[in-house]
Amino acid sequence: MEVDVLFLSHAYCKYHSNYRYFSGVVGNFKKLKGLVKPLPIFSAFYPPIPIEKSEIDFFLRKKREELKYKHHSHPWKVEFKMSLYRFLLPRIGMYVKRLIEDYNPKVLVVWNGLKYPLFIVRQLAMQYNIPVIYLENGPLPDTIQADLKGVNFLNSVPRDKSFYEKNFFEGELPQNLIPRKPAICRKFKNVKKIDVSSLKYVFIPFQVWSDTQIIYFSPWIKSMEQLFWLFVDIAKEFPDLHFIFKEHPSERFADYSKLHRIADKFPNLHFASNSTQELIEKAEVVVTINSSVGVEALLWHKKVIVLGQAFYDIDGIAKRAWSFSELLEHIKNLDNWEVDTVLVDNFLRYLYNYYLLKPKNDVEIFAENFEERLINFIEEGSF
């Protein structure tokens, strides 16, 4: 049986949210024939596919970074899991190879594409000359990014300032953010809301430590602890400026209670449970590694500093700081920094109304919009 679009879910079973979302999308396709397949957790029964060691070593090194942080007190777990991944990966590759040969899809679709074991799909797709479309949560409310190059820093969003100066993009922009529910219900239980109405402050949103945004695209800051201590030093230089951190609601594993206690010892360091929108709206500047909060801050014409590799690190949109001295200099010059609101709004309109797909939370409408793009790509090569 041949299909037009083969969705490969990083979920190991049909009950996972990723598999269910993909199934909802395929179930609402009107013209294209789609199929969703999860990758098997027990793939030891498949014969291994020959893979060049150099092709997967980079991805496995990144996986090791993630595991070393997660199992920092149990190094044997890191070595055990890495041995298991090395054993299973070529066998999962054989499973994917058979799916490609059995269904002969015109397009493959995966979520993110950088997480284990989905990075093997990129290698196999190149061998079979099949395009891969990578999906990921969009940086603006209720959106999804869909891109042939990759997601986040790898995406195809133009990075040249002149693109947004020469072209005018129309459309409305979102007026409010959609709050995320904490992955752990007690996460913000002991974190107080802060009255920020009279504070002059920098907002620093934490990110999920194991996310590909940190593992792959943060060459300088490797953990939220490092980010925190960076601002401990910065805060000493600016006693009249406050620095507010907020933990990421989706963080499941990291425990930052020690950092909370250290922050309590400084008059201008705070952890807050206020809504992200409130903390953005009243901030002087938002400093992020490469979070979507940086893009959301632009909706309120906020000054944005990025510490990692971010697709919105564009001249006139945000400022880059890849060292302590660069960050210090940007904060010193906050009062002399004027936001180019015309450029920022045009960039946001391009993202929201031309590049991103929406609405993520209405699967039926999203499927219709995604299917239209897929048909254009299959028939005309335009995505």
The string over 211-223, giving b where at least 16 C-beta atoms fall within 10 Å of a residue's C-beta and e elsewhere, is bbbbbbbbebbbe
Domain definitions of the chain by residue range: 5-138+360-380, 161-352
pLDDT by residue, tens only, the chain of 383 residues? 899 999 999 766 666 788 999 999 999 999 999 999 988 766 667 788 887 777 678 888 888 888 887 777 788 998 998 998 888 888 889 999 999 999 999 999 999 999 888 888 988 999 999 999 999 999 999 999 999 999 999 999 999 999 999 999 999 999 999 887 765 555 556 788 999 999 999 999 999 988 999 999 999 999 999 999 999 999 999 999 999 999 998 887 788 999 999 999 999 999 999 999 999 999 999 999 999 999 999 999 999 999 999 999 999 999 999 999 999 999 999 999 999 999 999 999 999 999 999 999 999 999 999 999 999 999 887 76
Query: Residue 304 has what DSSP assignment?
Result: E
Partners of residue 146 on adjacent β-strands: 135
CA distances from 49 to 6, 52, 90, 181, 252 (A): 20, 10, 5, 41, 34
CATH number given to 161-352: 3.40.50.2000
CA 174/CA 296 separation, integer angstroms: 9
CA 144/CA 137 separation, integer angstroms: 5
pLDDT confidence of residue 116:
83
CATH number given to 5-138+360-380: 3.40.50
DSSP alpha helix (H) spans, the chain: 17-27, 53-70, 75-103, 119-128, 161-166, 212-217, 224-237, 257-263, 276-281, 292-298, 324-332, 341-350, 363-380
CA 303/CA 191 separation, integer angstroms: 26
* H/E segment holding residue 360: none
Nearest C-alpha neighbor of 130 from the set 104, 155, 94: 104
Helix 363-380, helix 17-27: angle, nearest 10: 70
pLDDT confidence of residue 10:
79
Nearest C-alpha neighbor of 34 from the set 98, 82, 100, 105: 105
Domains 5-138+360-380 and 161-352 share a fold: yes
CB 309, CB 290: distance < 8 Å: yes
